[in-house]
Amino acid sequence: MIEAVGLAKRFGPVEAVSDVTFTAGAGRVTGLVGPNGAGKSTTLRMLLGLVTPDAGTATFGGTPYRELLAPGSTVGAVLDIAAAHPASTARGHLATVAALAGHARVRIDQVIDTVDLRSFADRRVKGFSTGMRQRLALATALLGDPAVLVLDEPSNGLDPAGIVWLRTFVRDFAASGRTVLVSSHVLTDLEHSVDDLVLIDRGRTTWTGSLAEFTAHGTTLEQAFLALTTKELTP
């Protein structure tokens, strides 16, 4: 469903991404994992047409994001915490986005239910915790009932209960045949939620495959990561 081939992007002297290639399939949760500054956010921004690649292609079902006929109903993305107006309520923010994007009003209450936002839907965003903002951002991304979800470091700011909730949510989303691509700089964050892993380091994909194949390289995720990273560095 998502395909990135040979993506590259330079910002002046900084080679943010030099060669990123992977696929993220339907019905699966794919984790994009790498250390801080590895190029994960830049890769996701290229996928979503927010940054133009210097080289390579990024497509959803064969079509670049900017050429999708109904992008909001095809791909939902959370790249930053919800940029809602502090004086608006969560419900008000969702209503504004739904109106601007042409999504059905009925979706507002549906996404509020989906992300368990009911208890604070009518409170002003300025009083929200980071976890509440994350849920609002996710609700906003779901308004168009997309078939693909792209999440950049979604567990940032979530408490343990929120992390378990998010894990269940992405698993259920993928179980319905849809596609999830989720980034993290913490490998163990994704241990219980992903089917497939894409490792990225210094702008390059260093390993792709299923979580099961990955852990076959070591008894723990950390050991497997070290084994693969070491192999990658050996000429």
Binding residues vs ligand ATP (CB under 6 A): 11, 14, 16, 34, 36-42, 185
Q: How far is the CB of 205 from ligand ATP (least distance, A)?
A: 12
- CB nearer to ligand ATP: give 103 or 204: 204
Q: How far is the CB of 64 from ligand ATP (least distance, A)?
A: 19
| 194 neighbors 182 (Cβ within 8 angstroms) | yes
Record the tokens describing residue 7, joined without a space.
Answer: 């993506």
Q: How far is the CB of 34 from ligand ATP (least distance, A)?
A: 5
- CB nearer to ligand ATP: give 10 or 123: 10
Q: How far is the CB of 41 from ligand ATP (least distance, A)?
A: 3
The pair phi, psi for residue 153, each rounded to 5°, is: 45, 60
Q: How far is the CB of 59 from ligand ATP (least distance, A)?
A: 20
Sheet of strand 196-201, all strands in order from the earlier edge strand to the far edge: 55-60, 2-11, 14-24, 204-210, 196-201, 29-33, 179-184, 148-152, 75-78
- CB nearer to ligand ATP: give 41 or 179: 41
Q: How far is the CB of 184 from ligand ATP (least distance, A)?
A: 8
Sign of CA dihedral 135, 192, 173, 203: positive
How far apart CA 196 and CA 212 sit, in angstroms, is 8
Token look-up 């004086």 returns 87
- CB nearer to ligand ATP: give 36 or 119: 36
- CB nearer to ligand ATP: give 40 or 91: 40
**Which residues have C-beta within 8 Å of that of residue 208, sequence separation ≥ 6?**
21, 22, 23, 196, 197, 198, 199
Helix (H, G, I), strand (E, B) or coil at 223: helix
- CB nearer to ligand ATP: give 32 or 111: 32
| Neighbour tally for 83: CB within 10 Å | 11
